[in-house]
Amino acid sequence: MLAGKRFLVTGGAGFIGSHIVEYLLNNGAEFVRVLDNLATGLQSNVDLFSRQARYEFMQGDIRNVADCARACEGITHVTHQAALGSVPRSVNDPVASNEVNVSGFVNMLTAAKDAGVKTFVYASSSSVYGDEPNLPKVEYRTGNLLSPYAVTKMTNELYAGVFGRLYGIRVAGLRYFNVFGPRQDPNGPYAAVIPLFVTGILNRTPVYINGDGAQTRDFTYVENAVQANVRALLAENEDAFGQAYNVATGNNFTVNFLYQSIADILGSDHKATYREPRAGDIRDSLADISKANKLLGYEPTKQFLDGLKVTVEYFRSLHKAG
């Protein structure tokens, strides 16, 4: 299935990107190159693959046109994961988020087009639904955007549509819903909620829940995000391109339930501390995944609690080793 195909994974030192790289190398890809500036990605993630002859790491920046062009040389398929993530980060520094997520995205699309890349798959986000109140979220119905980050991801979708129509490049976007799993970075001011909860409980340090904790999310184990990328990259159906897809499980849970589930897995009575809601956050999230199922054959292979157990055990093992 992957034989003879040469992949570029931008942001491959990041959490989702490194899992995509691992899958591609383990399943017969002819060649996998990672482009990452290590601003938010981790050297330890790419070190996992450094001994593989079919793998190459290129340190570079998607804001640099020459780096993008060089990264696309000899590549047949691109999965673009490089971005400055985090709603709060974008609220605090919209200029940086725009430079990476919009200008960098256009640089990569252009480089892929010029190199004759067959398929370009990119990470969008559930944040594009904004204040649209209806659940579940369906791709054609969005609301007012609530953060600069959401604007950057919606802009990606608009550019992707134009490039597909204008230049004929096969492009597909994946609207991730709260992806989690091993290798998600628990450190820094913009760390994701699950690694923060797990490490806080293990260390018995303060763990904060924003708002009342009754907000819901369609937590999506990383294995499902990898599957969606691979299915989109290899899609033969021309109708699958020029589209954006929800990537989720189609189930949602409250943040309170998430916290209690982690505490239960760890056998801990550590209590969370509640604080003010976070600016730019949406209240409830639940995906309709029927479009991805129909056009890509996407079907979640690991549900929330199963993925959570794997993830918690991963962070517990790191804690013991540390």
Q: How far apart are CA 77 and CA 4, in angstroms?
A: 11
3-state secondary structure of 229: helix
List the one residue out of 304, 258, 255 whose CA is nearest residue 284: 255
Q: How far apart are CA 76 and CA 55, in angstroms?
A: 15
149 is annotated as an active-site residue: yes
Nearest-5° angle of CA 58, CA 59, CA 65?
A: 90
Q: With 0-12 CB in 10 A as exposed, 13-18 as middle and 19+ as buried, what is 27?
A: exposed
Which listed residue (149, 176, 221, 259) is catalytic? 149
Q: Are 205 and 270 in contact (CB under 8 A)?
A: no
3-state secondary structure of 157: helix
**Phi and psi dihedrals of 178, rounded to 5?**
45, 65
Q: Catalytic positions, please?
A: 149
